Structure 1
Amino acid sequence: MNLESQIVIFSCNQRTVKKTVLPISGGKKFMAKCKRNRNRAKRNFTFKTPAANRNYKDTVFRMLFSDRKNLLSLYNAVNQSNYKNPEDLEIVTLENAIYMGIKNDLAFIMDTNLYLYEHQSTYNPNMPLRDLFYICSEYQKLVDKKSLFSSTLQKIPAPNFIEFYNGSTVISDCTELRLSSAFECLTGEPKLELIVTVLNVNEGHNADLMQHCSMLKEYAQYVARVRHYASDMPLNEAVKHAVDECIREGILAEFLTQNRNEVISMSIFEYDKELEEKNYEKQSLRQDAKPDMKPDLQRVKITLLLKLPVECYNLTNFP
């Protein structure tokens, strides 16, 4: 065999050196196999950190009142009722139904009524429109589509829409948002209406409601402390300080103790997102004074009006 048609491979095993002579064709196959093995080994040892999905991150409010006992307490306080069995609540929250990055917080059926509870940390006049999308999805899930073609009337649970607001914009203890307010050139009575009752759950508001739902009262106290400390120290430290202080003073003590790390992470996200939305909204409002607003900025304005997640904002074309 000529040297030109062979390949020499030396392999070491402890102190023994082994010489292997292979034909060129066999040597190429052998080397290719070695390369594949090396690449496979690299892939096996590559660790990718999963990226957090900010769009659909849970909130402390939703986590707290996803507990049936706490949710029943909140329901009783809102409706001035006295139900005792949490199992009477039929949870129908649309866990996987997300409209433009917005997730339904809590939905349940009680006494043949359907309740949609939403939490907002920024003022949003478009909640009726969002709830319209939610309720349509709920009814699609609850109703057998075949029955819509029947001569028998299809009964559906009566809807109720409640928003629990704890933003920094000052509003009254109880107010209403109407879908008809969004109708352009409305004449006469609207042919479609949806009313959202907005309850201010900041500390110092709706005292009677807070008195009948201790969890809601303590939640308001916790949020107030986060905001108080965040004005004087870095957000991470402020949230941790508020959590530890509330645990010491018996405010949501059991909940915060069991879910400390998760609550801290959620609170930082919520507060940071609230500030980001306000900053972007201010930027958008400043553009209103410019008559030659670019199309990209128009899209940003629409995005802000619907309160989409900050990640959805396309701000790359700001002048």
Structure 2
Amino acid sequence: MLEKTLDNRNYKDSVFVDLFSTDEKAKERFLSLYNALHGTNFCDIDILKNIKLDQVMYKSFVNDVSYLVENKIIVLAEHQSTINPNMPLRCLEYVSHLYERLFESKEKYSRKLLAIPTPEFYVFYNGIEPYPSDKTLKLSHAFINPVEPPNLELIVHIVNINQNTEHQLLARCKPIKEYSIFVQTVRKWKECDPVYGFQKAIEECISHNILREYLERKSKEVINMLFSEYNYEEDIAVQRAEEHEIAFAEGLEQGTHKKAIESARILKQLHSDTAIIMQVTGLSAEEIETL
């Protein structure tokens, strides 16, 4: 059901993607984030090349930001709900498409060894469920038959950017810190005022100098993006609740059936009539016969 929702989603940029990939000042913010992650002090945004995949053509990766910098492919993603444990597999699919776009097919059959950019994968988590400030997900954790060392590996670095984690990245990178506060403010106002919450959150952030220039310039666009994002998150939450209810109901049904079989077995040992056992347990004659 989740994949169906992903396929039907209107793929507009999220606020996260707009801030760090598509907005006119996105490169400045991304460079600040890159410096914070790598301990560098680059100032020239010309070293960045935006290589984000077109989501219309490749929809399985949501909220992605991709840049080529210093011979590295940096892939960023955002999660507002529970971290998806399959992120390494999704990142593998994503970076494979990036390499396809960076190199022509004929180059891959050359006798010369291709020099390919080194990939790095980061996921920024700002959901409400408790999560470590730092965590690493590995593709090899999903292998049915793991081997050491793995024949194929992909590592995703998870960073919890919620304010209560006091992650060092928040102190090093002003844009990501202000974005974290913005998300927290939106969440607060959305709960207090479902109708005008987004507008009030933007007004509060502007008054507290949080993403002020960006929000003053693009308040209407941001509200539209927030509506799209939160509708998507609510769809996922509803689907997860439905899946939980179905699993719970199936578990109850299996337990009831198991109890009926146990009761039928006892009645059969007492030489009760099959018709009576059927009436008491609800089992079919064929099921009782096999006991």
What is the identity, as a one-letter code, of the residue corresponding to 2:132?
S
Residue 70 in 1 paired to residue 25 in 2? Answer: no
What whole-Å deviation, never above 9, does each CA across 1:58-77 have from its counterpart, x for those lacking one?
10011111211011011111
Residue 219 in 1 paired to residue 174 in 2? Answer: no
Matched residue, 1:90: 49
Spell out the pairing of 1:97-246 with structure 2 (5 A cutoff). Answer: 98-103=57-62, 105-122=64-81, 123-234=83-194, 236-246=195-205
Q: Which moved more, 1:55-64 or 1:101-110?
A: 101-110
Which whole-Å CA distance do the structure 2 matches of 1:59 and 1:245 have between them?
Answer: 20
Q: Is the 2:79–2:123 Cα contact (8 Å) retained in structure 1?
A: yes
Distance 1:197 1:221, change over 3 A: same
Give the root-mean-square deviation of aligned CA atoms. 2.0
What whole-Å deviation, never above 9, does each CA across 1:10-65 have from its counterpart, x for those lacking one?
xxxxxxxxxxxxxxxxxxxxxxxxxxxxxxxxxxxxxxxxxxx8431210011111
SS in 1 for 2:120: strand
Between structures 1 and 2, the one with greater helix share: 2
Which whole-Å CA distance do the structure 2 matches of 1:206 and 1:143 have between them?
Answer: 40
What is the identity, as a one-letter code, of the residue corresponding to 2:99?
Y
Which whole-Å CA distance do the structure 2 matches of 1:103 and 1:207 have between them?
Answer: 24
Matched residue, 2:244: 285
Which whole-Å CA distance do the structure 1 matches of 2:29 and 2:11 have between them?
Answer: 22
Q: What is the identity percentage for the equivalent residue pairs of Structure 1 and Structure 2?
A: 34
What is the identity, as a one-letter code, of the residue corresponding to 1:173?
S
What whole-Å deviation, never above 9, does each CA across 1:211-252 have from its counterpart, x for those lacking one?
121111111111111111222221x31111110111112111
Q: Is the 2:60–2:90 Cα contact (8 Å) retained in structure 1?
A: no
Between structures 1 and 2, the one with greater strand share: 1
SS in 2 for 1:274: helix
Which structure has the larger Rg over C-alpha atoms?
A: 1
Which whole-Å CA distance do the structure 2 matches of 1:183 and 1:90 have between them?
Answer: 34
Which whole-Å CA distance do the structure 2 matches of 1:108 and 1:196 have between them?
Answer: 16
Matched residue, 1:262: 221
Distance 1:187 1:157, change over 3 A: closer
Matched residue, 2:212: 253
Which whole-Å CA distance do the structure 1 matches of 2:233 and 2:97 have between them?
Answer: 27
Q: Is the 1:112–1:158 Cα contact (8 Å) retained in structure 2?
A: yes
Matched residue, 2:277: none
List alignment gaps of at least 5 residues for structure 1.
Answer: 1-52, 294-319
Distance 1:140 1:74, change over 3 A: same
SS in 1 for 2:112: coil
Distance 1:104 1:61, change over 3 A: closer
SS in 2 for 1:102: coil
Matched residue, 2:5: none
